[in-house]
C-alpha cells in the first residue's frame, strides 16, 4: 500500500516500520474504496503517524474522546510552532476529526454511556411512530427538542419526576432571550415539550399537570404565511448554475428538483439511483410525511440536468444516493450542504424574503402553480400534502388574484 502512495523509498520504509502498520493500511484502503484520491491518502498516511506519536498509541485498548482532545491541543499549540501552521485552532479540529474517524473505523473509540434520560426519548419516539404515525423527520425534530431540554435539566442526578413548570417556562423563554429564535420556532419547541410531557404524565414519569400548564407564544394571523422568491428570481437562480464547474452542474440538478417539483430537502437527499426510471421517463419520490412513494413524469430539463451530473461529475461509488459530496471521502449530502447550495446562490440576488433555504423554493413552486391557474387540490397533490389545509395557506399570497378582486367594478353597490 505504501509503495503505491509514495515514490521515495525512504518514506515507504518509514511508514512500514512505524507502529500499527496493519491498522493504518486497513484504514487507508477503506478511504481509497470510498473514493479518496492518491493525494488525500498520502496526507492521511502522514497524519496517522502524527496521531500515533502524539497519543503514544498502543496496539490495543479503547481510546477516550478527552484523550484525543488533549493530544490535539498539545500538537496544534506546540512551541515552537511549525512554519507552515497558519491556524492552530483549525489544525486542532482537523486532528480530532481524523483521529475519531480512524479509531471509530478500528472499533477502538470509546463511546460514552447514553444519558439516563435516553430511554424516555426512545419510548416517546416509538409512541409517535406506532400510535400517532408521524414521519421520521417529524419524530427526529420532536425528539431533538426534548433531548436538548432534558440534557439541561436532567443531569447531575436530577430526575424527570422533579421537573417543574417553572423550569419548562424558563427553557421556553431562553429560546427567545439567548437563542434568539422566532415566535414560530418557540411555538414548535413548546408544542414538542407539551406532547412529551403529556405522554410522560400518562406513563407516570413526571408530576401531573405539566403539559396543560405549558404556554406557547401567540402566532399572528399572517405570521405563518409562506414566502418564497418570485419565479423570475428562481430563473436567475438557475442561471447562476450555467457553467462547467462540477459544483454548478450538481447544484443545477438539485435546484431544479427543488423548484420544479417543490421537493423538501430531505426528499432530495434521499433520492436513490433506482428512483430514476429513464425508460419510462419517471421519477419516484419518497415522501417522508405521507410515508408513500409519489411518481412524477421526469421533465426533460430536469432529466437532462441530472443526467449531466451523473455522467460528468458523480464518481462511481457504492452508495445509491444520487447526490454526493464533491470531495473525498465521498458521502451523501447532508441537510446543511443542500441548504448552503441554495442560500449561497439566492442571497446575492437581493430578493426580500425571510428565508433563503431550500424550503423557500418549495414555496416558490406552489405560488407559481397557483398563478398558473392550478386548483388547490392539484397543487396539494403536486407538493405531496396530506391535508388540504396545508395547501390553502398559499391562497393568502396570491396577490395578483387579490388585486383583481380589489379592482373589480362593483357597479355602484358601494
Catalytic residue positions, numbered: 264, 289, 359, 362, 385, 394
C-alpha cell belonging to residue 280: 419510462
User: How many Cβ atoms are within 10 Å of 141's Cβ, its own excluded?
Assistant: 15
Secondary-structure percent of the chain, ordered helix, strand, coil, rounded to 5? 60, 5, 35
With a CB cutoff of 8 Å and minimum separation 6, the contacts of 170 are: none
C-alpha cell belonging to residue 40: 488525500
Q: Is the peptide bond before 201 cis (omega within 30 degrees of 0)?
A: no
Q: What is the DSSP letter of 221?
A: T
Please give the backbone phi and psi of residue 294, each rounded to the nearest 5 degrees, phi first. Answer: -110, 135
Rg (CA), the chain: 27
Strands 292-297 and 282-287: antiparallel
Which has the closest alpha carbon to 72: 39, 47, 41?
47
Whole-number Cα distances in Å, 109 to 65, 104, 132, 169, 331: 7, 5, 37, 38, 21
Q: What is the DSSP letter of 126?
A: H
Q: What angle do CA 392, 396, 398 make, to 5 degrees?
A: 105
The total number of residues written for the chain in this structure:
414
Q: Is 353 helix (H, G, I), strand (E, B) or coil?
A: coil
C-alpha cell belonging to residue 39: 493525494
Q: Is the peptide bond before 329 cis (omega within 30 degrees of 0)?
A: yes
Cell 419524530: give the residue.
139
Q: What is the DSSP letter of 261?
A: S
The C-alpha atoms of residue 339 and residue 341 are separated, in whole angstroms, by 6
Q: Which region holds residue 47: left if phi is over 0, alpha if psi is between -120 and 50, else beta?
A: alpha
Amino acid at each position: 500500500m505504501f509503495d503505491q502512495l509514495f515514490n521515495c523509498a525512504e518514506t515507504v520504509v518509514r511508514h512500514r516500520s512505524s507502529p500499527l502498520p496493519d491498522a493504518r493500511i486497513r484504514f487507508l484502503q477503506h478511504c481509497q474504496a470510498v473514493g479518496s484520491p492518491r493525494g488525500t491518502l498520502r496526507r492521511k498516511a502522514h497524519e496517522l503517524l502524527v496521531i500515533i506519536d502524539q497519543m503514544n498509541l498502543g496496539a490495543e485498548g479503547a481510546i477516550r474522546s478527552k484523550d484525543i482532545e488533549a493530544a490535539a491541543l498539545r500538537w496544534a499549540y506546540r512551541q515552537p510552532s511549525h512554519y507552515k501552521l497558519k491556524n492552530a485552532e483549525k489544525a486542532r479540529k482537523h486532528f480530532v476529526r481524523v483521529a475519531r474517524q480512524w479509531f471509530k473505523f478500528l472499533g477502538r473509540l470509546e463511546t460514552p454511556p447514553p444519558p439516563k434520560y435516553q430511554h424516555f426519548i426512545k419510548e416517546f419516539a416509538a409512541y409517535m411512530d406506532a400510535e400517532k404515525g408521524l414521519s421520521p423527520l417529524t419524530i427526529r425534530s420532536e425528539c431533538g427538542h426534548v433531548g436538548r431540554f432534558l440534557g439541561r435539566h436532567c443531569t447531575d442526578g436530577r430526575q424527570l419526576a422533579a421537573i417543574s413548570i417553572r423550569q419548562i417556562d424558563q427553557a421556553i423563554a431562553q429560546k427567545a432571550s439567548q437563542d434568539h429564535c422566532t415566535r414560530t420556532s418557540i411555538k414548535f419547541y413548546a408544542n414538542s415539550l407539551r406532547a412529551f410531557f403529556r405522554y410522560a404524565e400518562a406513563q407516570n414519569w413526571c408530576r401531573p399537570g405539566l403539559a396543560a400548564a405549558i404556554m406557547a407564544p401567540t402566532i399572528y394571523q399572517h405570521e405563518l404565511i409562506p414566502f418564497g422568491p418570485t419565479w423570475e428570481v428562481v430563473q436567475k437562480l438557475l442561471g447562476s448554475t450555467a457553467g462547467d464547474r462540477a459544483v454548478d452542474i450538481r447544484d443545477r440538478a438539485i435546484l431544479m428538483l427543488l423548484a420544479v417539483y417543490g421537493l423538501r430537502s430531505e426528499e432530495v437527499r434521499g433520492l436513490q439511483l433506482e428512483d430514476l426510471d429513464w425508460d419510462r421517463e419517471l421519477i419516484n419520490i419518497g415522501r417522508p410525511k405521507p410515508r408513500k412513494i409519489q411518481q412524477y413524469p421526469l421533465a426533460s430539463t430536469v432529466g437532462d440536468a441530472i443526467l449531466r451530473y451523473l455522467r460528468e461529475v458523480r464518481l462511481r461509488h457504492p452508495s445509491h444516493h444520487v447526490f454526493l459530496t464533491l470531495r473525498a471521502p465521498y458521502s451523501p449530502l447532508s441537510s446543511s450542504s443542500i441548504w448552503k447550495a441554495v442560500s449561497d446562490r439566492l442571497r446575492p440576488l437581493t430578493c426580500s424574503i425571510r428565508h433563503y433555504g431550500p424550503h423557500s423554493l418549495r414555496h416558490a413552486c406552489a405560488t407559481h402553480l397557483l398563478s398558473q391557474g392550478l386548483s388547490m387540490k392539484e397543487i396539494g397533490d403536486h407538493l405531496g400534502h396530506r391535508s388540504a389545509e396545508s395547501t390553502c395557506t398559499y391562497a393568502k399570497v396570491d396577490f395578483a388574484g387579490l388585486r383583481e378582486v380589489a379592482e373589480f367594478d362593483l357597479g355602484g353597490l358601494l
